[in-house]
Chain A
Amino acid sequence: MTQTFEHLARGFRALLIALALGFAASGAHAHGLNVFAFVENGEVVVEARFSSGRVPTEGTVRIYDDADILVATMALSEDGALRFPLTGAARESGLRIEVDAGSGHRDYWLLTPADIAAGLDASG
């Protein structure tokens, strides 16, 4: 049976609200940047790509906690990706990961607790 987002994001209400606000405020889909993130070997892997298939060679990655408070800001690598360690708190609560590649190219991925658990399980 298809899992609903609500199921995946149980206990993740603040980020759900942030997501809704983000859709309204950021124009996330208007500029063709797509952001995806997953957990692999204990790290969060962030991937950004334009709808053309090209990757942004620079950009700012902002990490928000489950209360949508900014907890870290990092630079996107030249290959349009970023890896950073998954901390204990985030394992339980999830993260919102926003990539700003400039000129209005901005999008985010909501890394839910279920996503994190699945990534940790897959990595052993």
Chain B
Amino acid sequence: MSQHPRPSRLAAATLALALSTGAAGAHYGMIIPTTPMLGQKDGRSVGLTLSFSHPFELDGMVLEMPEAFSVTHEGETTDLTGDLVEATVMGQPGYTLDYPIARPGTYVFAMTPQPYWEPADDAFITHYTKTYVSAFGEDEGWDIELGLKTEIVPISKPFGLWAGNVFQGTVLFDGAPSPFAEVEVEFYNEEGTATVPSELMVTQTIKADEEGIFTYATPAAGWWGFAALTTAEEPMMFEGEEKDHELGAVIWVRFEEWG
């Protein structure tokens, strides 16, 4: 009986090492709710966890107190920044919040973080991050634009999606569609059980079309992060030098297991 070469203990160990160093994945602002669809049997509040992380490798970074954290419901935006509670998320400072839900409808949670200095990229990073919670069976308001510096406005309703469904969104920058914007896609490897055959697959990259619309089909259930990245026209100063400022429009969407 012939022996097939076993790709792999060494390769797997090498990959695991590479992943453990946090080199493979992308940065993501994260807002993860306890559920994207709050039913009446689930209680009357939703828990939210805010972080800045490499979601596939579960590698946390420091999230300073955000410049803003808000919820928008039925056209009204409420500032929640002062309600955030310090927490440790993926081993680093982050925040949590238990937000009471009083009425049905879609609640859009949005975070504007402080710019994060990333020496490895020699740049500052600001990820305008959103997620959505539908409460008590109503879903209106999921497609509104919040007016962030840059944001992804969903074309697919950003909850109630099956694993394998495509997700579509429009990338906006200063309120206008961003043609051919680059969108990075990464899975929140919450249980730490997902593996990849190559570190190239930790973060997948797609491009929007000429109208700023992108499409991605998820292979598995769970939370998926979409980050449309742009370099700001205005650099930021660091130790007397001008540095690039990466602006990210991030949206977190949960896909449910079929059946």
Residue B122, interface by CB 8 Å: no
Decide if A5 touches B43 in the complex (CB within 8 Å).
yes
- Identify which of A63-71, A80-88, A98-106, A109-117 touches chain B: A109-117
Say whether, besides A29-B137, A34-B136, A36-B136, A2 and B104 are in contact (CB < 8 Å).
Answer: no
Binding site for B on A (CB under 8 A): 1-5, 7-8, 19, 29, 34, 36, 38, 49, 51, 53, 107, 109-110, 114-115, 118
CA distance A109 to B34 in the complex (A): 22
* A-B residue pair count with CB separations less than 8 angstroms: 44
Binding site for A on B (CB under 8 A): 34, 40-47, 98, 102-104, 136-140
CA distance A23 to B104 in the complex (A): 19
CA distance A109 to B43 in the complex (A): 13
Decide if A53 touches B43 in the complex (CB within 8 Å).
no
6 pairs across A/B with beta carbons < 8 Å?
Answer: A1-B47, A1-B98, A2-B47, A7-B43, A34-B104, A34-B137
Tell me the dominant secondary structure on chain A's binding face: mixed
CA distance A110 to B137 in the complex (A): 13
CA distance A4 to B47 in the complex (A): 11
Chain A nearest CB, measured from B43 CB (Å): 5
The chain B residue with its CB closest to the CB of A7 is: B43
CA distance A112 to B46 in the complex (A): 17
Say whether, besides A1-B47, A2-B46, A2-B47, A110 and B40 are in contact (CB < 8 Å).
Answer: yes
Chain B residues with Cβ under 8 A from A3's Cβ? 43-45
Decide if A2 touches B45 in the complex (CB within 8 Å).
yes
Say whether, besides A34-B137, A53-B140, A8 and B104 are in contact (CB < 8 Å).
Answer: no
The chain B residue with its CB closest to the CB of A33 is: B137
Residue B41 contacts which of A19, A34, A53 (CB distance < 8 angstroms)? A19
Chain A residues with Cβ under 8 A from B40's Cβ? 5, 109-110
Decide if B98 touches A2 in the complex (CB within 8 Å).
yes
Chain A residues with Cβ under 8 A from B103's Cβ? 36, 38
The chain A residue with its CB closest to the CB of B99 is: A2
Say whether, besides A34-B136, A34-B137, A115 and B98 are in contact (CB < 8 Å).
Answer: no
Decide if B43 touches A4 in the complex (CB within 8 Å).
yes
Chain A residues with Cβ under 8 A from B42's Cβ? 4-5
Decide if A49 touches B138 in the complex (CB within 8 Å).
yes
CA distance A8 to B98 in the complex (A): 15
Say whether, besides A34-B104, A36-B103, A36-B104, A8 and B139 are in contact (CB < 8 Å).
Answer: no
CA distance A3 to B46 in the complex (A): 8
Say whether, besides A1-B98, A2-B98, A34-B104, A115 and B137 are in contact (CB < 8 Å).
Answer: no
